Chain A
Amino acid sequence: MMKGIKKWRLFALMTTLLVFLAGCGREEISTLIPAGKVAQDQFNLLILSSVVMLFVIIVVSIIFVLAIVKFRRSKMGEDMIPEQVEGSARLEFLWTAVPIVLLLILAVPTVYSTFDLADVSTMDVQTEDGNSSHLTVNVTGKLYWWEFEYPEQGIVTAQELVVPTDERVYFNLISADIKHSFWIPSIGGKLDVNPENVNTFYLEFDQESSELEDGVFYGKCAELCGPSHALMDFKVKSVDREEFDQWVTAMQEEPTPAEDAVAQEGQELFEQSCIACHATSGVGGTGGVGPNLATFGDRNRIAGYLEHDEENLKNWIADPQEYKPGNLMPDPESLNDGEPFTEQQLDSLAAYLMGLTVEE
């Protein structure tokens, strides 16, 4: 047993070391590096509860270690019969009362924060000129992508949420099919995206995503929704208010037609095969069959998770099921007169799509 305790110590030491070596994860996605008010509140609760719980663990550990070291049979003697103690009312009171006090310490901030984070009463408050004082985004979860509608601005985008920093952003969440869950770990906790009701909450983005190594925060679907649940990622660009307003204006303009020959060829093909599901103008509302592609060239990923390059884009168009099993994008054959897209067609589509941009 002594050997066992040594092993256990060594193991505990190694684990602790490893945790420190690997740090707190990546700033784009870790709840341990909060980048918004909501995540910060939740992180504070994590620290508070961890400290209280550490106290419990230390008390239990001390009694535990003393007991198993002091009262071993090898020390007490083979034949020793211990006194048959019945119990102690005083001790029972002690270890009922102390945990209750500890729980009260946790209960107060819990209740406060529960109501605080659910407070969406300022959502519909209007400024003097009749506009909403806060941005609202309508989020629709679909197999396996995300649609972001900005109803006040009359624009819609997909897969990449663009938000202003340092202000409250309200979200209305609903699913168009299976239940999903909307989660941006470094910005705030998740809220389920139910098929039968709209869930509303707010988040705040206190850091511009351009400061991050990858330039975007990572968003996730957190509720099992089918084979490609793991790939139902989205990205978040947080920009300052000025830049956000510029982006909105750019979104509201009609897209410019493709200029070079290859991209024009791609546009023609796109308008025959893809436009039925994918809009290329940012103006509009929710309800797209496929993701809106107005900002496609600006995005950080293909299909939500693949590196953003033409190679991946062509692979994805040529065989969507290979990259996101169970997704609802039709086979290329069904769009292209029963033939797979040729390499040339894929090149032109990629050139066209990469040219869809609203940023300078």
Chain B
Amino acid sequence: MSSIAQKKGFGATIWDFMTTVDHKKIAILYLISGGFFFLVGGLEAMLIRVQLATAGNDFLSAGTYNEIITMHGTTMIFLAAMPILLAFMNAIMPLQIGARDVAFPFLNSLGFWLFFFGGIFLNLSWFMGGAPDAGWTNYASLALASEGHGIDFYSLGLTISGFGTLIAGINFLVTIINMRAPGMTYMRMPLFTWTTFVASALILLAFPPLTVGLFFMVFDRMFGASFFAVEMGGNTIIWEHLFWIFGHPEVYILILPAFGIFSEIFAIFSRKRLFGYTALVFATILIGFYGFMVWAHHMFTVGLGPTANAVFALATMIIAVPTGIKIFNWLLTIWGGNISFTTPMIYAVAFIPSFVAGGVTGVMQAIAPLDYQLHDSYFIVAHFHYVIVGGVVLAILAGTHLYWPKMFGTMLSEKLGKWTFWFFFIGFHLTFFIQHFLGLMGMPRRVYTFGADQGWDLFNAISSAGAVLMAIGVIILLVNVVMTSIKNERVGNDPWGDGRTLEWAIASPPPFYNFAQTPLVRGLDTFWIEKMDGNKKGMIYAEPLGDIHMPNGSIIPFVISLGMFIASFGALYFLDGDKPWALAVLIIGLVITFGSMLVRSLKDDLGFHITKAELLEDAKGGNTDGH
């Protein structure tokens, strides 16, 4: 591999991305596929709001509507929000800690391709006999009764993509524990790295219960097991517990990295170090810890009894304390700062009232007796969209603008960015604020239609109008991305001018080997310290320039995942009984997967070295693309 820049054909670029083990390129893969699924999920959301715009609408049939809400929820959580956050983690976290790459570059690629094929598999259900229709929570009695293969697509698709996410989580944990640059103690890590760390721990502990639940589901539906079959002595509440033991931490897996992104933004654009950094770190850890103790608040109406309900109600309320600590520390970070209202910053500023609104309704629902009224009504729909859109999606949009120059070397248009913001933000509140009242007025969630005589018409029409504004905002963002890519005005290391952490001390985009010399970290906001000290070289380095050992790219992760994708079709159709080819497909798929694992195990792949001479050449030429 040479470090001299060369023009590559389209096919070669595709091949490069299929085989890459570079965390920055994998980040781009996550961003593109997560973005694609975000558009798919958004389209499903629009269909839902069209259907509910007027009373008694027949735009969608009852069955189709249930498929769409199921796929909207599943896609947005598993295939859009998480992968896009994984994109930022991949792109930024190794740079923030001054690492060469993640700990296991090969696994990083495997994690992505598993997620990708799982997501594609799930979405192919639309074209292969119908999508899952039991809600994203997939409650067992309904799921077992569901006809067709929709639920099987759900179980197998999420199992595959769940493996991918689990692998990514383990990889980030090992990276953060082992690969921090000299001087980067835990209490000097940027907050986005901290939240990545805690979210990865949550992934590690929360995904196995989901996998177990999905296995039970697969066994019940495909092999006649009876974990959830009531008439055989099974129990459907087990599914609810397994799902929510995963499902509640999952919410924090999403929101903690979002908190991380906002923490970076508040510090950068207030030109001030984070107020109460230690408190923010411990609040993050506490939220992650409590996240495992509150799952039954999703089940207050199940009939667990007053003792369980009271205990989980109190446990849930406690989470408001560390979350409140975070909000106030952010407010005090901008207090006394020098605030520049760039696009990322207006998202961060708008996040505070939006998320507080979602947080207080969360506390209201923690009051178990009150939740008997709010549960499964439109109030809860409003609540979780306030935290997920008002928290996670605003963070994703903010992060896209903030890190776009670091990932692609060019700045998204600030003007279009602000247009996106206003459309999206106003649309968001218009859509969801009013849904609190729909819930209080008695409207249950997941209804494909509603009668005109129940007093819900006006608010539903307003909600649908808001959804249109959000869609316009997203379209403007797409235009922004296209126009920015065409213009392609290159930027330097620190395009926002006020970068504080290590990722802003390296070229945009960074060379494929990251820092040529590992930097020495002298404190929190280490790049800011060097800037204030007038260090012209950017950073102080902990080692002399020398050869760098790099891993080779590999197509094997792609092939392993492809094999599982193929095998899943075999498993799915095998149980129809009338499709003899299904067994063959299952076997072929497994042979591909295990065969490629064998190749990986037996073939030595020692990587390659970049010599000191090449690094010097690179530095002189200002070439940072690496190829």
The size of the chain A interface, using a CB distance under 8 A, is 102
Which stretch, B31-39, B359-367, B573-581, touches the partner chain A? Answer: B359-367
Q: Are B139 and A111 in contact (CB under 8 A)?
A: no
A46 within 8 A of B: yes
B314 within 8 A of A: yes
Interface string of B429-473 (1 = CB under 8 A from A): 110011001001110111111110111101100100000000000
A240 within 8 A of B: no
The size of the chain B interface, using a CB distance under 8 A, is 100
Asked, given contacts A96-B325, A178-B141, A196-B235, whether A64 binds B440 with beta carbons under 8 Å apart, the answer is no
Which stretch, B161-169, B334-342, B545-553, B615-623, touches the partner chain A? Answer: B334-342
Q: Are B270 and A71 in contact (CB under 8 A)?
A: yes
A9 within 8 A of B: no
User: Which residues from chain A contact B279 at a C-beta distance below 8 Å?
Assistant: 87, 92
User: Which residues from chain B contact A222 at a C-beta distance below 8 Å?
Assistant: 301, 375-377, 444-445
Complexed CA–CA distance, A115 and B61 (Å): 42
Interface string of A5-47 (1 = CB under 8 A from B): 0011001000100110011111011111000000101100110
Quick one: closest B residue to A233, CB to CB? B451
B125 shortest CB reach to chain A, Å? 17
A197 within 8 A of B: yes
A144 shortest CB reach to chain B, Å? 10
Q: Are B325 and A26 in contact (CB under 8 A)?
A: no
Quick one: closest A residue to B275, CB to CB? A87
Interface string of A170-185 (1 = CB under 8 A from B): 0000010111010101
Asked, given contacts A60-B327, A87-B275, whether A24 binds B235 with beta carbons under 8 Å apart, the answer is no
B138 shortest CB reach to chain A, Å? 10
| B interface: dominant SS | helix
User: Which residues from chain A contact B5 at a C-beta distance below 8 Å?
Assistant: none
Complexed CA–CA distance, A31 and B237 (Å): 27
Q: Are A107 and B317 in contact (CB under 8 A)?
A: yes
Q: Are B324 and A95 in contact (CB under 8 A)?
A: yes
B318 within 8 A of A: yes
In B496-548, which residues have CB < 8 Å from any A CB?
532
Complexed CA–CA distance, A115 and B311 (Å): 11
User: Which residues from chain B contact A68 at a C-beta distance below 8 Å?
Assistant: 334, 339, 349
A106 within 8 A of B: yes
Q: Are B349 and A100 in contact (CB under 8 A)?
A: no
In B295-343, which residues have CB < 8 Å from any A CB?
301-303, 305-306, 309-310, 313-314, 317-318, 320-321, 324-325, 327-329, 331-332, 334-341
User: Which residues from chain B contact A103 at a C-beta distance below 8 Å?
Assistant: 317-318, 320-321, 363
Q: Are A85 and B336 in contact (CB under 8 A)?
A: yes
Complexed CA–CA distance, A213 and B340 (Å): 56
A contact residues vs B (CB 8 Å cutoff)? 1, 4, 7-8, 11, 15, 18-19, 22-26, 28-32, 39, 41-42, 45-46, 49-50, 53, 56-57, 60-61, 63-64, 66-68, 71-73, 76-77, 80-88, 91-92, 95-96, 99-100, 103, 106-107, 109-111, 113-118, 175, 177-179, 181, 183, 185-186, 188-192, 194-197, 199, 214, 218, 220-231, 305, 325-326
**Apart from the given pairs A64-B352, A81-B338, A113-B369, 4 other A-B contacts in the complex at a CB distance below 8 Å:** A77-B338, A110-B370, A116-B369, A189-B372
- Give the 6 A-B CB pairs with smallest separation, nearest first: A189-B372, A25-B441, A230-B447, A185-B442, A29-B442, A87-B276
- Can you list 22 residue pairs at the A/B interface with Cβ under 8 Å? A41-B369, A49-B363, A60-B327, A63-B328, A64-B352, A71-B338, A73-B341, A91-B276, A100-B321, A110-B370, A111-B314, A118-B309, A177-B141, A178-B145, A179-B139, A179-B236, A186-B442, A189-B369, A189-B371, A190-B372, A229-B66, A230-B448
